[in-house]
Amino acid sequence: MIKIRSLFFIILFFILSQNTLFSQKKFSFIKKDINFVINDSKKVGSGITAFKKNDLIKLGIITGSTILLFYVDKDLKQFAQNHKSSQNDKIFNFDSFYGNAYNAGLTFGIYGAGLIFKDKNIRRTGLKSMEAFVFSGMITTVLKILIGRRRPYGGDNHLFFKPFQTESLYKSLPSGHTTVSFAVSTVIAKSVENPVWKVFWYSAAGMVGASRIYHNAHWASDVFLGGIIGYTVADFLVKTGNNSDNEYRIIKKISPAIGSNFIGIKLSF
């Protein structure tokens, strides 16, 4: 898992540096984007600390579900290890390029595309996916250290915990790769109202989770909790972020566009 805190400051440095390089009038959106990130940071922080009754119920359900999965962790580990093959190795190599630093590159790419095409909706999607990556990653990193669960490759005892360790061996719960893959995928999936689009991105995140189990890097319960954290943070940002100014419009429809000399797609807002 990459250093989330370092990435967060890199993102801020990038945005701040752009503000000094270009004219304030022409690139006034940079200041808006900085405020956008700061305001969302505050909302995520207040959302974590200000629990309501329904939030506590949801937290109890998630915690209970994670604990219930402890009972099948060893069986699922054994199942994955019994189905090792060269073909499966290729299929489950998915986590080597999704669910890690490449996710950060994807978010920068989306943001950059928004700048190039001067599309504020794409730009904001990039910003929100960056935020989801960083915020969910931070939460998962803290939980990893506090819980200190040993990874499955460290032994067969799935209930071995050693909190407050710096070694990766004791940072199994939750799965960081799964967290950030679901965080980024959720923001992107929710940016377009198209079922095929959503299935693609959620499937990509799900493949990361399956890959982590296949590689014996995480228990199934680690993957479940990581996915829940990533989805929840991203969903929160999409729903309660800075959407009041309508700068994160949902694309309502994707349809083919065919002309006399071109074939493309049409986006309806």
Note the pLDDT of residue 247.
45
Residue type, 98: Y
Residues whose CB falls within 8 Å of the CB of residue 27, separated by 6 or more in sequence, listed in order: 18, 19
Q: Within its chain, how far is the Cα of 224 from the centroid?
A: 13
Strand partners, 268: 253
What the block records as the tokens of 9 is 């400051």
What CATH number should be reported for the domain holding residue 27? 1.20.144
Residues whose CB falls within 8 Å of the CB of residue 194, separated by 6 or more in sequence, listed in order: 251, 253, 254
Report the domain count for the chain: 1
Residues whose CB falls within 8 Å of the CB of residue 228, separated by 6 or more in sequence, listed in order: 62, 182
Segments of the chain with pLDDT less than 50: 1-2, 16, 18-25, 243-254, 262-263, 265, 267, 269
Note the pLDDT of residue 53.
76
Note the pLDDT of residue 32.
76
Q: How many CB atoms lie within 10 A of CB 258?
A: 8
What range defines the domain where residue 118 resides?
Answer: 4-268
What the block records as the tokens of 53 is 């009754």
Residues whose CB falls within 8 Å of the CB of residue 249, separated by 6 or more in sequence, listed in order: 121, 269
Note the pLDDT of residue 28.
61
What the block records as the tokens of 127 is 């910003």
CB of 4 closer than 8 Å to CB of 179:
no
**Omega cis (within 30) before 174:** yes
- Enter the pTM of the model: 0.81
Strands (E), the chain: 253-258, 263-268
Residue that is written with structure tokens 């967060």 in the block: 8
- b/e 121-133 (16+ beta carbons within 10 angstroms → b): bbbbbbbbbbbbb
Q: DSSP letters along 111-142, please?
A: HHHHHHTT-HHHHHHHHHHHHHHHHHHHHHHH
Q: What mean pLDDT is reported for the chain?
A: 83
What the block records as the tokens of 188 is 């992107």
